[in-house]
Amino acid sequence: MELFEALAQRYSYRGGYRRQPASRTDLRKILEAGIRAPSGCNAQTTTFVAVDDPEMIAKIAVIVDRPTVREAAALIVCVMETRAVYHDMSFGVEDCAVAAENVWLALTALGYASVWLDGALRLEGRAEKIGALLGVPPGSTARILMPIGVPAEPGVPRDRLPFEQRAFFNHWGSAAGGSGKD
């Protein structure tokens, strides 16, 4: 699948999955896409744990009880390191987010579906529980959980607001055509 097609086809999938495993070859490609994401000061503060062991998936599903987690062929856990990399600033959240988007585009291109679970991990100590289960070191946090699999039912990307309401040239609220330069 071509990049712009993957961008157009990506959607949040909250349903069940077919009983079809995710190959290690595909998982490596998906993780490589995440690793290739940019990061603040090239500090590379995002790491990943791919979980494809059914018993481990079941343990994580006890922590985050959702159909997409219970039925996933695999889980990708984006782990965020929060160390300062520029003056006193950490770009852990931003680095993790851009890496997760790369992961999502890659899994979409390979025919899988996912949903980005972040808020659910920040409740009831779930991130800490998943981190402990996976052996995440101190100073790092299991920030995003992405269950993946072949969707049981096809999903449809949600409509987006028109370009003219979300993007401008040279000034907020300007006509989308801007100066007319190409």
Structure tokens at 59: 């343990």
Per-residue confidence (pLDDT) for residue 104, from 0 to 100: 93
Q: Are 72 and 17 in contact (CB under 8 A)?
A: yes
Per-residue confidence (pLDDT) for residue 181, from 0 to 100: 62
CATH of the domain at 86: 3.40.109.10
Q: Are 22 and 151 in contact (CB under 8 A)?
A: no
Structure tokens at 73: 């062929």
Please check the confidence at residue 35 and state whether its pLDDT lies above 80: yes
Please check the confidence at residue 56 and state whether its pLDDT lies above 90: yes
- Split at pLDDT 50, 70, 90, the class of 180 is low
R_g over Cα of the chain: 18
> To which H or E segment does residue 48 belong?
strand 46-51
Please check the confidence at residue 176 and state whether its pLDDT lies above 70: no
| 118: exposed, middle or buried (Cβ count in 10 Å: 0-12, 13-18, 19+) | middle
Per-residue confidence (pLDDT) for residue 163, from 0 to 100: 80
Q: CA–CA separation, 142 vs 153, rounded Å?
A: 29
Query: Comparing C-alpha atoms, which of 112, 131, 161 is closest to residue 49?
Result: 131
Query: Under DSSP, is residue 158 helix (H, G, I), strand (E, B) or coil?
Result: coil
Range of the domain at 59: 3-166
- Is residue 53 included in any domain, yes or no? yes
Q: CA–CA separation, 146 vs 135, rounded Å?
A: 18
- Is residue 71 included in any domain, yes or no? yes
Per-residue confidence (pLDDT) for residue 158, from 0 to 100: 80
- Is residue 173 included in any domain, yes or no? no
pLDDT digits (tens, 9 = 90+) for 118-158: 999 999 999 999 999 999 999 999 999 999 999 888 877 78
Average pLDDT over residues 43-56: 95
| Residue located via tokens 């299991």 | 142
Please check the confidence at residue 164 and state whether its pLDDT lies above 90: no
Per-residue confidence (pLDDT) for residue 177, from 0 to 100: 54
pLDDT digits (tens, 9 = 90+) for 89-108: 999 999 999 999 999 999 99
Please check the confidence at residue 31 and state whether its pLDDT lies above 80: yes
Question: DSSP state, 37?
Answer: S
Average pLDDT over residues 2-19: 82
- Is residue 112 included in any domain, yes or no? yes
What total number of domains does the chain contain? 1
Q: CA–CA separation, 75 vs 149, rounded Å?
A: 9
- Is residue 180 included in any domain, yes or no? no
Longest dimension (CA), the chain: 58
Per-residue confidence (pLDDT) for residue 124, from 0 to 100: 96
| 28: exposed, middle or buried (Cβ count in 10 Å: 0-12, 13-18, 19+) | exposed
Mean pLDDT of the chain: 90
Identify which has the larger pLDDT, 148 or 161.
Answer: 148
Structure tokens at 120: 């659910």
- Is residue 160 included in any domain, yes or no? yes
